Amino acid sequence: MIDERDKIIIGLIQGDLPLQKKPFAKMAESIGMTESEFLERIRALKASGVIRRFGATLRHQEAGFSSNAMVAWIVPDDRIEEVGKAMAEFREVTHCYQRRPQKDWKYNLFTMVHGDDKDACYQVAKRMSEATGMDEYILLFSEKEFKKTSMAYF
């Protein structure tokens, strides 16, 4: 069970970290805690499963990756776990999800790939296909980004 202090900490760490040498010390100070107390609370939240992971969101265009595509795959149900894990290992993949196929849309595994250009994304998908034996896929390229944010809980 989380308390009000935990909610405040989660609220602080779910956004951008301060651009300084000790960002957690600055956040801890803002709520009257030491950096070590603040970090210990985060570790406890992670150990209890309240926080599943702590990650960074890359703004891919600012990092030089001008192209990205959602690759939709048709994967046999009995291989979905194996193939999903294998595809998730590719460094160019930032998201990998299983979803239920729909009436006219038979794709059930989705990977977001990033590259320098469209051809690079096609090459990543081809390597993934060769590595897994999955050859039914389509690339859906991003045309325009309307929103990109992390979930805000508190």
Residue pair 134/82 in contact (Cβ under 8 Å)? The answer is no
**What stretch of H or E contains 95?**
strand 93-98
Cα 19 to chain centroid distance, Å, stands at: 21
User: What pairs with residue 70 in β-bridges?
Assistant: 112, 140
User: In the sheet that 67-73 helps form, which strands lie side by side, from edge to edge?
Assistant: 93-98, 109-115, 67-73, 137-141
> Where would I find the H helices in the chain?
4-13, 23-30, 35-47, 80-88, 118-132
Q: Which domains occur in the chain, in start order?
A: 4-47 (no CATH), 67-141 (3.30.70.3460)
Residues 6+ apart with CB under 8 A from 107: 72, 73, 74, 99, 101, 137, 138
What are φ and ψ of residue 14, in 5° steps? -80, -15
pTM flag (> 0.75) = no
Per-residue pLDDT of the chain (154 residues; tens, 9 = 90+): 889 999 999 999 987 788 889 999 999 999 999 999 999 999 999 999 999 877 766 555 555 557 899 999 999 999 999 999 999 999 999 899 999 999 999 999 999 999 989 999 999 999 999 999 999 999 999 888 787 776 677 7
